[in-house]
Chains A and B, each alone.
Chain A
Amino acid sequence: DAMVIQNPRYQVTQFGKPVTLSCSQTLNHNVMYWYQQKSSQAPKLLFHYYDKDFNNEADTPDNFQSRRPNTSFCFLDIRSPGLGDAAMYLCATSRVGMGYNEQFFGPGTRLTVL
């Protein structure tokens, strides 16, 4: 089945230690998104790639970076995680051109910062 895959599902890192979260998709969608979701809150969009074009949200901290080496993969890099960065990180994809911009989500990576 076509899907969005996130690895790892659970990630523990230390305060200030760089961490990378991975997302891959078999849907061949041209848009990939990264969301941060804290407990009992809605997902918050960090940035998205439209093909190779990177689109950062205005309030996304510089500590968060992203790479999309090809259509299938997208990475979220947190350069110096703080305690406040502990959250669920969701990757999603969509195909622009469908008209209604349905997004397909991966299972998420739960990040713990010690």
Chain B
Amino acid sequence: AQSVTQLGSHVSVSEGALVLLRCNYSSSVPPYLFWYVQYPNQGLQLLLKYTSAATLVKGINGFEAEFKKSETSFHLTKPSAHMSDAAEYFCAVSYTGTASKLTFGTGTRLQVTL
């Protein structure tokens, strides 16, 4: 069965600093990978997705992620954090033929300080 591990339930960075949120997946077949962001009392918004095309994926709000098969990772980065980036971030994995189900990681809460 597929699974997703997000290292660090809470990450704190200073405004302007690099954001790095970690995501590792376990899989014996090529996955589709997603990063979602959730602001308080809102639904999940897709930041970016990996669908077996380019391994470096650019998303909204200046975020990007790199699919590394050798490391089974899909870490999310942003060069310079902004206060508005403070939110919960979820990594998720899906596979062809799984009836469209997503398997979510446990989430990482990003705090941005002045």
Chain A positions within 8 Å of B, measured between CB atoms, are 4, 6, 31, 33, 40-43, 45, 48, 50, 55, 88, 90, 92, 94, 96, 99-108, 110
Q: Classify the secondary structure of B's interface with A.
A: loop
Q: A45-B101, A48-B100, A90-B44 are in contact. Are A99 and B107 (CB under 8 A)?
A: no
A50 near B99: Cβ-Cβ < 8 Å: yes
Query: What number of residue pairs across chains A and B have CB atoms under 8 A from each other?
Result: 66
Residues from chain B with Cβ under 8 Å of A55 in the complex: 99
State whether A106 touches B94 (Cβ < 8 A). Answer: no
**Chain-A contact segment, one of B45-53, B67-75, B78-86:** B45-53
Chain B residues positioned under 8 Å from A50 (CB to CB): 99-100
User: How far apart sit A48 and B36, CA to CA, in the bound complex (Å)?
Assistant: 19
Shortest distance in angstroms between A40's beta carbon and chain B's nearest beta carbon?
7
B44–A100 touching, CB < 8 Å? no
Set of chain A residues within 8 Å of B101, measured between Cβ atoms: 45, 48, 101
